[in-house]
Copies of this chain bind each other. A is one copy, B any other.
Amino acid sequence: MTNLKNDLILRVLKGEKTERVPVWMMRQAGRFLPEYRVLREKYGFFERCQTPELATEITLQPIDRLGVDAAILFSDILVVPQAMGMEVQLVESKGPLLPAPIQSAADLSRVSVPDVHDRLHYVFDAIRLIKKELNGRVPLIGFAGSPWTLLCYMVQGKGSKTFDEAKAFCYQQPETAHRLLQMITDTTIAYLRAQIEAGADLLQVFDSWGGLLNEQDFEQLSLQYMRQIVTALGDRVPVILFAKGAWFALAEMKATGAAGLGIDWCVSAQKARSFAGDDIVLQGNFDPAWLLAPTPVIKAKTKEMLQAFGGHHHIANLGHGILPHVPVDHARAFVDTVKECTV
């Protein structure tokens, strides 16, 4: 048991009323900081992920620079498909490429549920080193992509606005799709369990593409697998589910037993509360593009956000990842405003 000097986010996730709202920013590690860009010039993406010293340095940069209330592991959701046997290329500014996507039942022979301790040991090594370097300053968030979001990449083979090939695969070959989703889920549960064992204090599951599905498909293709993850791990550490755009399933996501739900800026605090109730922690929901406004505007908008959530059962965050070209002082204006506010 580590002695955390700042356990604000964990207390909020337990339902406690706290002295102020905790704050962190999705993609705070490995995107917008100039000291990160220096490392990006020198090392390839997977080199940064797979070298514990580099992953640790990148994870800690926003803690040192911005004083956020939680660290999040520097890694990528696509290390899971990679560990399952797929080739994944991450070319900077071009997005992910999986040159041999899954297209049929036969293709499932190319993937397996791996021994995560063998294939993803570098993640757990990084977590242990991060925890040591953090030395209890703030909690560490472990994470994974949702099974549906990972299927999107494994089938489509690259980013997409619609992921229509991934959807078509599920609609045309539902049995194969569900076999693949279960393999991803089993891998993800083992992966996240090992993250906890290595020292992760809480977990976030990123369902980046859940909001592309309608209500029924979201339950079938995404939520039933996220539910397995929460059921398996939610009694060990708090789990936050963030299904971008899936405002319509907030009540169902809460019913999984998740400790918190991430929401984007398109669902207001008021509407999110009306869907999810008052007794669940909501995380969000500042429009990342607002960080491009002048800093006095950022401060005013941040206060508006805090007031809308009422200072309770709330973790301040963006509604999606920070944009790469946000000036550091703009990000700091957001973080500082939250930390100064006692709503």
Beyond A248-B266, A297-B171, whether A164 also contacts B211 by CB under 8 A is no
Copies in the complex: 2
Stretch of A32-40, A69-77, A109-117, A287-295 with 4 or more beta carbons under 8 angstroms from chain B: A287-295
Cβ–Cβ contact A271 & B248, under 8 A: yes
Asked if residues B161 and A289 are in contact (CB atoms below 8 Å), the reply is no
Q: Which residues between 240 and 262 of chain A lie within 8 Å of chain B, taking CB atoms?
A: 245-248
Contact across chains for A267 and B248 when beta carbons are under 8 A apart: yes
Asked whether any CB of chain B lies closer than 8 Å to the CB of A162, the reply is yes
Q: How far is the CB of A243 from chain B (nearest CB, A)?
A: 11
Q: A248-B267, A266-B211, A266-B214 are in contact. Are A289 and B162 (CB under 8 A)?
A: yes
Q: Which of B168, B172, B268, B293 interacts with A215 by CB under 8 Å?
A: B268
For A292, give the chain B residue with the smallest CB separation: B168
Would you list which residues of chain A between 208 and 222 have a CB under 8 Å from chain B?
211-215, 217
| Nearest CB on B from A241, distance (A) | 17
Distance in Å: Cβ of A265 to nearest Cβ of chain B? 4
Q: In this assembly, does A27 line the interface, its C-beta being within 8 Å of a C-beta of chain B?
A: no
CA distance A310 to B245 in the complex (A): 26
Rounded to whole angstroms, the CA-CA distance of A162 and B266 in the bound complex is: 13
Question: In this assembly, does A129 line the interface, its C-beta being within 8 Å of a C-beta of chain B?
Answer: no
Give the chain B neighbours of A323 by CB distance below 8 A. Answer: 162, 164
Q: Does A167 contact B (CB under 8 A)?
A: yes
Chain B residues lying within 8 Å of A167, measured Cβ to Cβ, are 287, 289-290, 292
**Given A171-B290, A172-B292, 6 further pairs, Cβ under 8 A:** A162-B288, A167-B287, A171-B297, A215-B268, A217-B287, A246-B266
List the interface of chain A (C-beta within 8 A of B). Answer: 161-164, 167-168, 171-172, 211-215, 217, 245-248, 265-268, 271, 287-290, 292-294, 297, 323
